[in-house]
Amino acid sequence: MNRQIRFVGLISGLMVLALLANLTYLNVVQQSSLEANPYNVRAREAEFDVDRGQILAGNTVIAESVPTADGSVFTYQRTYANGPLYAPVTGFFSYIYGTSRIENSFNTDLAGTSSSQWLQNLIDSASGRVPQGASVVTTISPTLQQAAWNALKGYNGAIVALDPHTGAVKALVTSPSYDPNLLASHDLSAVQASWQKLTTDPLDPMTDRGTREIYPPGSTFKLIVASTALEHGYTADTMLDTPDELLLPGTNTYLPNSDDCGNTQLTLQRALQLSCNTSFAKLGYTLGADELRQQAEKFGFDSPHLPELGGVASQFPAQMDGAELMLSSIGQYNVAANPLQMAMVAAAFVNDGQLAEPYIVQEVRAPDLSVLYSHQAAPPTQAVSASTAQAMRDLMISVVDNGGGILAQIPGVTVGGKSGTAETDPTNPSYGWFVSFALNPDIVVAVFLQHDVNDSTDIWGGNEAAPVAKKVLEATR
């Protein structure tokens, strides 16, 4: 009998220890994940009773929580100044639909529950005060953000502006956009109606075209082909075969030039100025798929960027035959990129071949303004040599001075660029791109125009995307 009692006691003791261990694990290890779980209603209700931290663009408040009137269901209301303008940066904070973008990736900081705020939370708990959230300061320039927004008026698309030396995102605009205030409302029936309308809108206003979608980059990809050639001994004066049309290997299909490139040979510089398809298709074929892929990856292809916004990776095909390689060399076939990625390519040229990883959060500040987090840049990677970067800057400047980018010219300012026009389906309008930079002060701007608001006409990179980029570049002067 005593043995049985001891056995039961032992089992009971082990069960108590297991329970204590599980409680400790839940409270210490899994606390943050449990609080962040979208199905944790109690945690969500608690968040709506917290003075959630601000999100700022420089010194401009773009998201904050304000006290509600007496009798309201929640103590604070999340509000977004110029909501559609900053939506791809801030994301939304919704009782029903959770969080997105910075509201999601810095949720615990904004809610005041991060591990870096544990001491303050302990003091608040002891004194009976409700925790106050930290503020998140972004790298966005309100001036450039507004300029990009204004420049996109009338188009569906996106603009990304980067500081080429640090990787700081200075502007991130997508159009059409949406108002996060609609999803932050305490009128839950209205929130559901807004969500239904936004998520079923065929124009996809909640889609971030700057970082979370990828598209054929068209002739802007010729920048990568040209830089690969320069890295392998070519120069701006190297003569390239430029037939009027080029038979794609293994097919009966001919690839034409969009512009009159003649039917003989052109220098690499002139072929880039005129964006001759046959020159770059043949050049890419000569360089080979492996060399192009390696160079594309050095610029950031096949890796996601800006994880705090859920950025997706741009893609260069893993397997290609000869025809597919030629089409990939002019930014078609299965090559796909977003404006952030193409801005990174130009940024490496401006930064002497060094590629700084892009980022959008500069620091996190506690309510007492002490810094809880400050961005620490990783060492830049060498995408191309300094000499190749200089040569590519010169080539892009020549495109604006004497080629397809003339509509981006700004008097008295050194501007470089490359246009691109891409087709995904012969029955749909083409996309327009312009990847550009201006020097002193240095800034990189990538423009992607999906179509105009009427969704009825082709978009051409040189004719339409270049003037849009010019408006943003001018805002930095």
Whose tokens are 């071949």? That residue is 353
Q: Residue 401 belongs to what H/E stretch?
A: helix 386-402
Helix axes 222-231, 277-287, angle to 10 degrees: 50
Is 429 part of any domain? yes
Question: Ramachandran region of residue 379, left (φ > 0), alpha (ψ -120 to 50) or beta?
Answer: beta
Q: How far is 97 from 217, CA to CA, in rounded Å?
A: 33
User: Quick one: how many helices (H) and strands (E) in the chain?
Assistant: 18, 19
Is 91 part of any domain? no
Closest CA to 148 of 138, 160, 137, 139: 160
Q: Residue 92 belongs to what H/E stretch?
A: none
CA angle, 125 then 126 then 128, to 5°: 60
Q: What is the CATH number of the domain that holds 322?
A: 3.40.710.10
**209, two tokens:** 């075209």
Helix axes 289-298, 222-231, angle to 10 degrees: 100
CA angle, 60 then 65 then 70, to 5°: 140
Whether 219 is a known active-site residue: answer yes
DSSP category for residue 336? B
Helix axes 289-298, 277-287, angle to 10 degrees: 100
Cis peptide before 441 (omega within 30 of 0): yes
Q: Residue 28 belongs to what H/E stretch?
A: helix 2-28
Is 92 part of any domain? no
Is 344 part of any domain? yes
Q: Residue 327 belongs to what H/E stretch?
A: helix 322-328
Is 226 part of any domain? yes
* C-alpha dihedral (103, 105, 107, 108), degrees to nearest 10: -160
Instruction: Find the domain containing 465 and state its range.
Output: 218-363+378-474
How many domains is the chain built from?
A: 1
The share of the chain scoring above pLDDT 90, in percent, equals: 77
Bridge partners of 441, per DSSP, are none
**64, two tokens:** 């904050």
- pLDDT, residue 197, reads 97
**220, two tokens:** 């802007």
Is 312 part of any domain? yes
DSSP strand pairing (245-247 vs 254-256): antiparallel
Tally of CB atoms within 10 A around 127: 7
Is 17 part of any domain? no
Closest CA to 470 of 430, 422, 419: 419
CA angle, 387 then 390 then 393, to 5°: 150
Marked catalytic residue, from 94, 100, 219, 419: 219
Q: How far is 295 from 222, CA to CA, in rounded Å?
A: 12
Closest CA to 438 of 343, 354, 356, 297: 343
Closest CA to 393 of 234, 242, 257, 269: 269
Summarize pLDDT for 32-54 with one digit per residue, the tens: 565 555 555 555 676 777 899 99
Cβ density class 183-208: b for 16+ within 10 Å, e for less: bbbeeeeebeebbeebeeeeebbbbb
Whose tokens are 């980029």? That residue is 469
Summarize pLDDT for 314-356 with one digit per residue, the tens: 999 999 999 999 999 999 999 999 999 999 999 999 999 999 9
Residues 6 or more apart in contact with residue 41 via CB below 8 angstroms: none
Whose tokens are 């995102």? That residue is 169
Helix axes 339-350, 222-231, angle to 10 degrees: 30
Is 112 part of any domain? no
Please, is 10 exposed, middle or buried when counting C-beta atoms within 10 Å of its C-beta (0-12, 13-18, 19+)? exposed
Residue-level pLDDT, tens digit, the chain, 477 residues: 566 676 666 777 777 777 776 766 666 556 556 555 555 555 567 677 789 999 999 999 999 999 998 667 788 999 999 999 999 999 999 999 999 999 999 999 999 887 766 556 556 655 556 678 999 999 999 999 999 999 999 999 999 999 999 999 999 999 999 999 999 999 999 999 999 999 999 999 999 999 999 999 999 999 999 999 999 999 999 999 999 999 999 999 999 998 899 999 999 999 999 999 999 999 999 999 999 999 999 999 999 999 999 999 999 999 999 999 999 999 999 999 999 999 999 999 999 999 999 999 999 999 989 999 999 999 999 999 999 999 999 999 999 999 999 999 999 999 999 999 987 666 666 889 999 999 999 999 999 998 655 554 666 777 899 999 999 999 998
